[in-house]
């Protein structure tokens, strides 16, 4: 029987055994069994449940420590994701603003621009599209690394 609970009296091979579970319902760790008839004295026998409770408290503390580590890791992961999304948002908006401004200028003021100005605006559009393409390639590359596809 695993999990905390009362001391159980069991008979095995004609001898009386006492069992007490270690851990709890969420994290059972096993059980301790002893034969009271073979205990040295009443003092030693009385120490067994105390030692078991101490073991249970230690196991509970370890479980809580693991949970705290998990929560800390999740919080750090959330902060990282938030910072990454903020950075990506900025990295995409900047070239998109340049593309939009250049394309709008060409559409609205095409006749007012000389060929050199038109070429500069088209070059800006091309460079910013290539920049976005590099961002997307890098993001997909990071995803493949994270998934273990690329090492």
Instruction: Please indicate whether residue 5 or residue 98 has the higher confidence score (pLDDT).
Output: 98
Residue 17's pLDDT band (cuts 50, 70, 90): confident
In tens, the pLDDT along 61-87 reads 988 999 999 999 999 999 998 998 888
Q: Which residues 6+ apart lie within 8 Å of 131 measured at CB? A: 95
Ramachandran area for residue 119 (φ above 0: left; ψ -120 to 50: alpha; else beta): alpha
The phi, psi pair for 123, rounded to 5°, reads -65, -40
In tens, the pLDDT along 95-141 reads 999 999 999 999 999 899 999 999 999 999 999 999 999 989 988 88
Provide the pLDDT for residue 40.
Answer: 58
Q: Please, what sign has the CA dihedral across residues 24, 25, 31, 33?
A: positive
The phi, psi pair for 33, rounded to 5°, reads -125, 140
Distances (CA, A) of 85 to 16, 25, 93, 137: 64, 40, 12, 16
How confident is the model over 14-39, as a mean pLDDT? 73
């Amino acid at each position: 029987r695993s999990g905390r609970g009362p001391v159980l009296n069991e008979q095995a091979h004609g001898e009386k055994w006492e069992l007490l579970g270690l851990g709890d319902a969420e994290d059972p760790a096993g059980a301790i069994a002893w034969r009271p008839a073979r205990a040295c004295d009443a003092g030693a026998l009385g120490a067994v449940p105390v030692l078991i409770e101490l073991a249970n408290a230690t196991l509970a503390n370890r479980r809580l420590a693991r949970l705290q580590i998990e929560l800390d890791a999740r919080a750090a992961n959330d902060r990282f994701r938030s910072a990454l999304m903020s950075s990506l948002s900025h990295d995409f908006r900047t070239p998109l603003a340049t593309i939009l401004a250049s394309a709008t200028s060409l559409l609205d003021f095409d006749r007012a621009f000389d060929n050199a100005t038109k070429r500069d605006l088209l070059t800006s559009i091309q460079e910013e599209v290539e920049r976005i393409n590099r961002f997307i390639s890098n993001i997909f590359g990071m995803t493949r690394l994270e998934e273990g596809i690329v090492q």
